Amino acid sequence: VRQMDAFIITGAPLEKLPFSDITYLDELQGLMDTLEKQNISQLYVCWGGMIALNYFYGIHKEMLDAKLFGIYPQKITNQSNLLKGLTSGFLAPHARYAEMSKADILSSKDLIINAYSSTGHLFLVSAKNKPQHFLFSHLEYGPNAFIKEYHRELNARGG
């Protein structure tokens, strides 16, 4: 790990579960501790961002009334190197059942919201004094990802 320039911890479809129910939680927290101690740049994506914000900063997860699912314009509120070249209004896909508490984030002296969607949901949060970024959009989605996820959801419900 020491030789890495950066580390990405991606998501998993686990946001409906309490963090304490994750069977590999101890190992994941150990890895996150190592990344922090080594001062390695960290990008936590979707559920990865949820678990990391909770672990490092005590930010609470809140279940949404319905799954956030769509492509929405984003508003940049605080610039970040990760947003370089983007302007407010850029489109980004979101797909999740939970959101981290914006009230907790806004009251934290250690965190800043860099951008959020037109629906008011988080896009990017960053630590003010550590190389940690928490991305809640799925920029990795290709052109067919949403339809595949839609069908996966239908199949999971038996539909």
CA distance 28 to 38: 15
Angle at which helices 47-57 and 25-37 cross, to 10°: 70
Active-site residue identified among 94, 121, 133, 138 = 138
Task: Tell me which residue of 111, 147, 145 sits closest to 128, measured CA to CA.
Answer: 111
Q: Is 46 a catalytic residue?
A: yes
- Catalytic, out of 46, 94, 99, 133: 46
The helix (H) or strand (E) run that includes residue 127 is: strand 122-127
In this structure, are residues 50 and 82 in contact, taking their beta carbons and an 8 Å threshold? no
Catalytic residue (choose from 27, 60, 140, 151): 140
140 in active site: yes
Q: How far is CA 56 from CA 21, 35, 155, in A?
A: 18, 12, 35
Quick check: is 27 catalytic? Answer: no
Positions annotated as catalytic residues are 46, 138, 140
